[in-house]
Amino acid sequence: MFVKKIGIDLGTANTLVHVPGRGIVINEPSVVAISLNEKIVLAVGDEAKEMIGRTPDTIIASRPLKHGVIADYKTTEAMLRYFINKALGGWRLFRPEVMVAVPAGITSTERRAVVDATIAAGARAAYIIKEPIAAAIGANIPIGSASGHMIIDLGGGTSEMAVISLGGIVANTSVRIGGNKLDIAIMEYTRRKYNLAVGERTAEEVKIEIGSALYLQKKMSMEIRGRDMVSGLPRTITITSDDITEAIQAELEGIILAVKTVLQNTPPELAADVIDKGIVLAGGSSLLRNMDRLIAQATGVPAYTADDALLCVAKGTGIALENLESYKRSILATS
């Protein structure tokens, strides 16, 4: 009973930590700021994100995960250690058991890297669960039943679609399109159309404030500031929701194509279940306006966003860790 348990949604954009009994205790950006001179970690999470695009040459603020997998092992380990320590408080007698959610399309080498980094960061045991399974558990979908449930987890680095039945994934695909790709598309669009260079954070703000997957009947607009590409001087422009919808069209088409691929690979009996129950959307990017309507229009299958879509994966890891026996078929590797 003394062993603490922690569920971690190790995302490209944000890391969420769920402690059974306490719920989500951490929801911070997956960003680490490192001093190049002293080779030490200066800040992690919210504090480090504030530094993106604003650091001198001696400090680098970066995201150690790319497309849901570890791109920088040492930095990921430091970030995990910070989040584990923050979730559990200072001194403790026992090392915790940690369950980490990873993309379904992850290779065995990438999975091993996650397990090793988690153990090195202070875990007694590391369990791995696929994100679509964790998202389904967190969205209160009865994944153990003998009927098909489709979940789409739209994250920061990847979007994953899976049809789940009897606790396992029957058909799935993963595309490296997520919130970050949408931000980059917005940055490129403002540069191309308005000759204005804007940063990652501005693009993300615009996406959240006025972005929509479908053109809105009542247009929204907001002012953004950036650097004029011609004069090199700061400039302010007004951008509309139509601009944002146009900017992200190509990326959204990639997501739609992946959803259709999964539906095409789903056995007929389970496809019938999916039509009955609809498609559930989870993950931060599912909160983009009209995302559910776009998927419903494109596939002809009802789609709706889960409650607390952003927290589904983290909640699912916590629930699975509390009920290891019930979900042991759905959990990948232990160490």
Residues placed in the known binding site for ATP: 12-14, 156-158, 204-207, 284-287
Q: How far apart are CA 101 and CA 321, in angstroms?
A: 11
Q: How far apart are CA 296 and CA 299, in angstroms?
A: 5
Torsion angles phi and psi, residue 5, rounded to 5: -125, 140
Q: How far apart are CA 328 and CA 262, in angstroms?
A: 25
Known binding positions: 12-14, 156-158, 204-207, 284-287
Rg (CA), the chain: 20
Q: Name, in order, each residue with C-beta under 8 angstroms of 275's C-beta and a sequence gap of 6 or more.
A: 301, 302
